[in-house]
Each structure stands twice: as C-alpha cells, then as structure tokens.
Structure 1
C-alpha cells in the first residue's frame, strides 16, 4: 500500500513539474517577443525572469524525478537532498538575474530610452498574471501535500511573477499617462518616462526578497538545521506519552520530502522489553502525526527512577548473577552514592570462590548504576537474617579504634580497613573490610564475622547494622601455593 502511494505521489509531482516547464516556455516566448517590439525593459526583465523560471522548472522536474529514487548503498538516506540543491540553484539564478536588471535599470534612468506602451504590452503582462496565478496555486498545493521543497521553490517563482508583472503594468500605465498629462494639463512629468526602469527596479527588489527567504530555508535544510518549533512540538508530545520519563536527545533533519527523526528516551529500569517496545511504537506513531513523511528511530535507555527502583535494580542484577541479597541500604551524601547489603552464598563454598562471585556482582552494579562510588557487601550463608537495633551517636574515631582493637582478638581475622560510619538519624551502622584465610569456607568465614560482630555489639550495644565484608588473604594463599612439594 505504501509503495502504491509513493508511486501516485511521484506521478503527480512529475505531472505538475512538467506542466510548469511548458507554461514557462510559453510565457518566456511571448514576453521576449513583445519586449523587443516595444523596447520595454520592464517586459524584457520579466522575460529574463520567466527564462529563469523555465530553467528552474526544468531543474525542478529533474530534482523531483531523482529525489523519489529509493535509497541505495551510497545514498542510504535516499536522494531527497537533490530537491534542496535544486532550490539553492534556482535561488542563485534569480539573484544573478537581479544584478543584470538593476544594471540596465540604472543605465536607463541616466539615459532614458523610448518605450512603446501599446495594447500588446498590457496583453502579455495580463496573460502572464493569469498563468502565474494558476500555476502558483497548483504548485504550492502539491508542494504542501508532499512536502516538496523543489515544488515550493517553483511555486514561489510563479507567485513572484504575479507581483513583478503587476509592477511592470504600473510602469506601462505611467508611460501612457505622461504624454496625456503634458498635453492636457500642461504638467511636466519627466520621471514618468523613466517609470519603466523604476518598475524594473521594483521587480528586482521583489525577486531579491523572495530569493533571500528561499535561499535561507534551503541552506538550513542542507546544513541539517532543525526548526525549533518542530523540535519543541515533538519533544512535548513524546514526553506526555505514558512510560517515557525524559527525552534525553532529539535530532531532526530534513532531506527533500522526507524528515528523519532519531531520539534517545529514558524509561523506568523496571520496564519489560515488551513495554519498552510498545513505548517506542507509540512514539513513532505520535511523530508521524506531527510530520507525515518521517523516518523515526527510537533508542531506549533504562534509568533508575527513585530509591525503590534502585533497590529493585540491585535485586534484579543479583538475580542475574545467581545471587540473593537482603538488607540493602543506599546512602547519598553530597551526591556520592554508596550501597551496603548482605549477599547470601552457599555455605560450602570457599571464601575465595565467594569473594570472586561477589566481586563480579559488584562490578555489574558499578556498570549499571550511574554515580555509584562505594559498595560494601557482607557475605553470609544462605538463610541468615540481619539484626536491627536503634540508633547511637558515636564519633568515627571512637568506632574505628574499637573495631581495630576487637578484630585483633579474633583469630583468623586480620587487616581491617575502610571502616565507615553511616547514620540516617534513626539508626547508625558501621561497615568495614577484613581479610580471612582464602581456604576457609563461607560458613567458616561467616562464623568469624559473627564472633567479631558479637564482640562489637557487646562493646556498643546500641549499634544498629554491622556490615563486615570479608576478603581472601591473597598473600597467605600465595605462600601456600609456593610451598614446595615434599
């Protein structure tokens, strides 16, 4: 169905462009003949203008044909830019003609030339206005229907001809009035004899103005400049779609009748693949309503929406790594995010193996959660639960010294480091890392941490959470590996 519609559009654009070529040939011919017979610079300037319209119409016909060719390996976005290039070419031709018209007009203002304003002068200009009005309406209607800048440029050419022809007619009327005013009213009106040249300057002024507008628009498209109103309209419409958190990036570029839109959207991290796909389909549909002929590419990025989503994200990453976590706490201090949690590991696994799995899990957390700077995990056998207490108020230095002092009493635990105190107003907690024998099982290492935690709680009975992250003592493990066989 889409292919059939494209073929219909292509045929209609070609038909309109070809009819413009034929009309331009007709108007150029009659203006040249009458202009030479009457010696009217105004009509000759109009003939030159129509000649450019003829060239422009030919270029438009060629551009419309090429722009509708399908994309290929070298032109993966299609050939739509050909229309924009043709519009720029037409603009340059118009400006070049204006230079010649202004030069001739100034020359005739200095040295007047006799111009015959007869019936044929008025007839050809009236005919030109009728034809230009008809063609400009048809071209503009088709240009808007199919978003064709080449046809729009052609329509502007014919519409400017209406105004410029009207200016020339006014100049011819002035030439007819001059002898009558001198003979009947005795009024000397030398400037009326120069009305034809003045009319030519008026024509050039109109053409320059229209050329500037068309050229500016064409260059913007060639440089991929996006219309601010269009971008704003798309962004507002997409943001209002359910499931879209924010529009992170939006780019819009036009190529002939086609508009290419690509955007990056942020959706909740908890959204499923199917939900994200439905969001992207709704976005494409919405953009299509704003820009009918558009090619839309949507990239979805999952983001953590709030604290609850953050905890769910941690659990989902743990599940993907085959782990279970509980007691998840997030601390955001001065924009620095840190996490602490208990990670459940099978009791028979060695602490070295457990630490390797947890380290992989922590790396995945760092990759998935933006801004995460610190992670403290407590490894424990599957099924253990955390104990929660009320808050206390202690100095960091005091807790630091107590932890180091008590750790020395537990045989098998050494090198306690990264001791940190967290308080949320309702509960205070302490987290730290320590080394244990790499050959211990998770159950054995956990038993050591229970003994140390018990000693800490005996000294600090009101302390809330105690998170002890165990790490294998790699130095000790290396020494064992290097022991020679007997």
Structure 2
C-alpha cells in the first residue's frame, strides 16, 4: 500500500471514532425518550461500533508499520485480528440484546413519545448508511480488511435500524406492545449472523488466502507477456495479507544463461506484476532447465508467435 493510500485509510479509521460516538448517542436518546426495547437493542449494537472503530484505527495504524527484524514480512495481518475482534464484539452485542428483550416479552410495555424516537433513530440510520458506503468502498479500493469489516458491520446496523423502524411503526399501528421485544430478538439473530460472516472472512484471511481468480489471471498474463528469454514459470503461488500481496514462483532459464541476464528478466517480470498488483512483494527463484517443475505453470509468450 502506498504511503498516501495508507494515510487515507488511517484518516478514515480515525473519523470513524467520533461518528460512532455520535450515532450511538442519537440512538440512546431515541431509546430514552421512548423506552423501546428494540431501540435499546439498536443502541447497544452502536456501542459495539464505538469499540470496533477504536480497535480498527489501532489495528490499521499498527499494520502500516514497516517491516522490522522480528516481522520481516510486515505487520499487515493486524487488520485481520481487528476484524476478528469486531466479529466477536458483534456476537456479544447480540447476547446483550437478548438479555434485555426476553424479560420484556413476558411483560411488554407501551412506548412513550414514539414519533420523536423514530425520527431520531432514522437520522442516526441515515448517517450510518452514508458512512458504511464510504468505508466499504475505501476498504475494497485500498484492500483494507479492517475498514471493510467496519463498513460491513455498520451496514448491518443500518439494516437493523430499518427493521426496527418498520417493526415499531407496526407495533404503534396495531397496539401490540409485545412486537417491540420480539423485534429486538429478531435484530439479535441478524446481528449474530453478521458477526459470524465477519469472523469467517477474517479467519480466512489469516490462513493466507490466495488472490482472487481475476487477479491471478492478470498476474499470469503479465508473466507470460514479459518473460522473454526464459523458458517458463512454475510453482506460482500468491497470498494476501491485509493490504499486501505476495507473489513467488520459479523462473526456468537456459542452463548457460549468465546471472546478469537472468536478473534482467526478473526485474522485467517484477515491474510487470506490480503494474497489475501495485506494491506486490515478489520472490523469484531462478533455476536451470534441468530442474523438475511443480505446481502452477505459466508458458512464456515467444516474440513473433
């Protein structure tokens, strides 16, 4: 990740903290004026957003640290740890909601000032929707798992808010107060599902997942078009760690090729790969044609073929 991209990601993560506090405040005010358990559940989820925003900023800041002696490949995976923690916090929020909602099902109570509470909660939902869009878009653009996870969590909060608003309107219109805590329990189930998705995606990233198929094809095409002078490539592997992409492979050259000429081919291939995968960290093992080939192979395009 370029320095300018890293600064943008950190700036967005930092802005997420005061925004999370503001949205949580609005939702808790909506609960305070109404006494609605569903609005309380929405506010509890937003309290998790506050913790998640702080954790995401800390993880992104740490992940941006350059490689050192004890972490020669960098600190990129710190973002995945942040996303895992966020998923756990989402699950905790869901359990807190259930603890509040179950007693209310047994003894439902009518809401006070419902219209004002719904308007305040709607305003908080609009803010969340805009911010979720910004974070998800930036997370994909800058390949930041922490930003993307934070955006997905906030988006689930938006869906929750919409469901709460619709459900409370129905509760007010029908007069069935029990719909309020029942809706809170449904919100909790949705939050549990979203938390599971965040955790599963982050754990997958910690397991050194390969790049997406389209990216792999672009890397192979770049190698095929720029490996003139070599005899082929095999054992091509890729992995993604946070915003960083790692590519390594074996480059087969004629046994009599001078080291300097093989090095020139490697330089050309590295430039071509970084053109399709900016900032990629590349390791190329040069070997003579007499070695056995393994793994994914790439045929080099011949000039004039």
TM-score (norm 1): 0.55
Matched, 1:247 2:250: no
Gaps of 5+ in 1: 180-191, 305-368, 371-486
Matched, 1:196 2:198: no
Match of 1:171 in 2: 167
Change in 2 beyond 3 A, CA 1:211/1:11 = same
Matches within 5 A, 1:49-88: 49-88=45-84
Which of 281, 288, 293 aligns to 2:274? It is 288
Mapped contact 1:171–1:198 kept (Cα < 8 A) = no
Match of 1:418 in 2: none
Which of 125, 128, 143 aligns to 1:129? It is 125
Mapped contact 1:95–1:207 kept (Cα < 8 A) = yes
* Cα distance in 1, alignment partners of residues 112 and 272 from structure 2: 61
Matched, 1:143 2:139: yes
Bigger drift between 106-115 and 19-28 goes to 106-115
SS of the equivalent of 1:299 reads strand
By relative contact order (CA 8 Å, sep 6+), the higher-ranking structure is 2
* Cα distance in 2, alignment partners of residues 143 and 123 from structure 1: 30
Change in 2 beyond 3 A, CA 1:283/1:102 = farther
Q: Which has the higher strand share?
A: 1
Based on CA coordinates, which of the two structures has the bigger radius of gyration? 1
Matches within 5 A, 1:1-400: 5-6=2-3, 8-116=4-112, 118-179=114-175, 192-227=176-211, 229=213, 230-231=215-216, 233-235=218-220, 237-239=222-224, 241-243=226-228, 244-304=230-290
Which string of whole-angstrom CA distances, capped at 9 and with x for unpartnered residues, describes residues 168-196 of structure 1? 101110122114xxxxxxxxxxxx43322
SS of the equivalent of 2:60 reads helix
Q: Which has the higher helix share?
A: 2
Bigger drift between 252-261 and 121-130 goes to 252-261
* Cα distance in 1, alignment partners of residues 107 and 225 from structure 2: 68
SS of the equivalent of 2:252 reads strand
The count of corresponding residues between Structure 1 and Structure 2 is 290
Alignment root-mean-square deviation, CA: 2.4
Mapped contact 1:117–1:175 kept (Cα < 8 A) = no
Which string of whole-angstrom CA distances, capped at 9 and with x for unpartnered residues, describes residues 6-61 of structure 1? 1x333322221121110111111222232133121111111111110000000111
The offset of 1:273, in angstroms, is 3.0
The offset of 1:252, in angstroms, is 2.4
Mapped contact 2:223–2:269 kept (Cα < 8 A) = yes
